[in-house]
């Protein structure tokens, strides 16, 4: 029986879909059986980031309403032995599915996979409730800015009321240089007070990768890729130290400190 993990954040645009695609792909690279589920009905993205948007016939709403079996709606990613995607519907909205139906779909998927990764829409309404309803665990994604952290905190509060283990945290788009007006990772972790699962640097390769339809984690030479691989290893139970690179000083700052100037 596999484990269902929901990737959520409250705020939009912080990297839920990117994180879902890359954690799923990283687990598949480790030869795990993975199913990605896009619950962002009406604004589906996960298929695009995975480069699988040309093959959709049935979707989540079709499966929920019984127009097809869940297995029929799955898209198989040919790059891996077992990485499947259940796409969201693009034509309906969040109310097209309820939490009971969602739970049913996830419980049908779990026996066939090691991990079911659920990409949650932004917000705390129906879409969020659906995404969380079938999950055993949650990963909260935030960027190091005040608004995103505020929303993540709201979500953590809601998740604590669910019957699941405490959520874990991914801080995305961390700049390599310490900037005055951004929170640092320590601030974020101190406020949210949940386990830090990993840090992903801000990396323009991420955007390029989704244009190509090839999640960044498949490119072994990028910093963001390494971050996602580490997260996957932590999900699998390995203890991997946090990357030192994440908050290293910029070259400019390094030179300044070499010259004995205060940074």
Ligand X SMILES: Nc1ncnc2c1ncn2[C@@H]1O[C@H](COP(=O)(O)OP(=O)(O)O)[C@@H](O)[C@H]1O
* Cα 109 to Cα 63, 71, 84, distances in angstroms: 12, 8, 10
Residues 102/110, Cβ–Cβ less than 8 Å: no
| Helix axes of 16-29 and 204-212: crossing angle, nearest 10 degrees | 70
**Options 172, 222, 225, 230; binder of ligand X; rule CB under 6 A:** 172
From the centroid of its chain, how far is CA 62? 24
132 binds other proteins (CB under 8 A): no
Minimum distance, C-beta of residue 72 to other proteins, in the bound complex (Å)? 39
Residues 177/249, Cβ–Cβ less than 8 Å: yes
What is the x/- site pattern for Mg ion, positions 17-56, by CB under 5 A? x---------------------------x-----------
Minimum distance, C-beta of residue 201 to ligand X, in the bound complex (Å)? 6
Closer to Mg ion at the Cβ: 16 or 168? 16
Helices (H) and strands (E) in the chain, counts: 11, 8
153 binds other proteins (CB under 8 A): yes
Residues 121/43, Cβ–Cβ less than 8 Å: yes
Stretch that binds other proteins, among 79-87, 107-115, 155-163, 246-254 (CB under 8 A): 155-163
263 binds other proteins (CB under 8 A): no
User: C-alpha angle 86/21/34, rounded to 5°?
Assistant: 55
Residues at the annotated binding site? 11-18
Footprint of other proteins (CB under 8 A) = 146, 150-151, 153-154, 156-158, 160, 187, 191, 193
Footprint of ligand X (CB under 6 A) = 9, 12-18, 45, 172-173, 200, 202-203, 206-207, 210, 224
């Amino acid at each position: 029986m596999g484990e269902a993990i929901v990737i959520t954040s409250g705020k939009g645009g912080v990297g839920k879909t990117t994180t879902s695609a890359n954690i799923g792909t990283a687990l598949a690279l480790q030869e795990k059986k993975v199913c990605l589920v896009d619950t962002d009905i009406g604004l589906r993205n996960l298929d695009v980031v995975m480069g699988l948007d040309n093959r959709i016939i049935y979707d989540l709403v079709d499966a929920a309403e019984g127009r097809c079996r869940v297995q029929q709606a799955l898209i198989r990613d040919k790059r891996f032995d077992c990485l499947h995607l259940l796409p969201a519907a693009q034509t309906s909205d969040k109310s097209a599915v309820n939490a009971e139906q969602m739970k049913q779909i996830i419980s049908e998927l779990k026996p066939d996979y090691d991990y079911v990764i659920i990409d949650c829409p932004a917000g705390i309404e129906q879409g969020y409730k659906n995404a969380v309803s079938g999950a055993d665990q949650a990963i909260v994604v935030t960027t190091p800015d005040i608004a995103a952290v505020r929303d993540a905190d709201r979500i953590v509060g809601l998740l604590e009321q669910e019957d699941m283990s405490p959520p874990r945290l991914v801080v995305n788009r961390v700049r390599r240089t310490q900037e005055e007006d951004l929170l640092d990772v320590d601030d974020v972790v101190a406020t949210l007070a949940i386990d830090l699962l990993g840090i992903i640097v801000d990396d323009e390769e991420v955007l390029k990768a989704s244009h190509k339809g090839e999640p960044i984690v498949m490119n072994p030479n990028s910093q963001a890729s390494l971050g996602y691989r580490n997260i996957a290893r932590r999900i699998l139970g390995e203890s991997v130290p946090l990357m030192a690179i994440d908050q290293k000083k910029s070259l400019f700052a390094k030179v300044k400190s070499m010259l004995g100037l205060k940074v």
